Amino acid sequence: MSLKILEQVNSFLAALVLLTAFAMLAQRRINALIHVFMWQGLFLSISTAIVGFIANKHHLYLSSVLTLSLKVIVLPYILHVLIVRLKIRKEVETIVNIPMTMLLGIGLVIFSYHLTRPIMELSTFITRSTLSVALATVMIGLLMMITRKKAITQVIGFLAMENGLFLAATSATYGMPFVVELGVALDVLIAAFIFGIFLFHINTTFDSLDVNQMARLKEDI
C-alpha cells in the first residue's frame, strides 16, 4: 500500500475522530455517550498504528495497543461501573441546547483550521493535515465539559480532550517518546479512578451529580 493511500486513510480516521466528537455533543443518553467515546478511542488507536507505519516509529505501535486497551476497554468499563453504582439517569442534561452546542462546535472547527493553517503550511510531516482536527477535538471536549450539567459527562469531556491532545502529539511530532506516553496513560487512568472516588463522595453528600445544585449550595453559604 502506497504512502499516499495511507496518508488518505489516516486523514479519514482523523475525520472520524472529529465526527465522534460531534456525536458526543449530540448524545442524549449516557450509555450511548460512552459507546461513542469507545469508537473515538478505536479510531485513534488505528490512526496511531498507521502513523507508526508511515513514519517508521515502532513505539507508536505500543502506543496504539495502549490506547486500544485504555480508551476502548478499561475506561469505558470504569464509566459503565460508575453509572450503574451511582444509579445515574440515562438522560444527558445540558446547559445549552444541543443544536446551539453543535453550532458552537462547528465554529470551533473553523477557528481551529484558521489557527493551525500557518503551522500546516510550514510542516513537512504527512500528518500535518490532521493537526486542525486534533485541536478541534480538544476544543469540542472542553465545550462538552462546559455545557453539561452532570459531573460524569464532564469527565467524559475531559477524556475526549485528552484524545485530541494525543492526536495532536501524533500529528505534530509523530508522537511523544513511549515512556512519556505511558506516563500520560497512567495519569489518565489514575485520574479516572480519582474522578470515580469524587463522584461517589459527591453523590453521597449532595444526593446528586448536578453541578448546578452544588453551585446553588455555594451561593446559599
Query: How confident is the model over 19-32, as pLDDT tens digits?
Result: 999 999 888 888 88
Question: pTM for the full model?
Answer: 0.79
Instruction: Give 117-155 pLDDT, tens digit per residue.
Output: 887 777 666 677 788 898 899 999 989 888 887 777 888
List, as one string, the DSSP characters of 73-117. Answer: IIHHHHHHHHHHHTT--SBPPBSS-HHHHHHHHHHHHHHHHHHHH
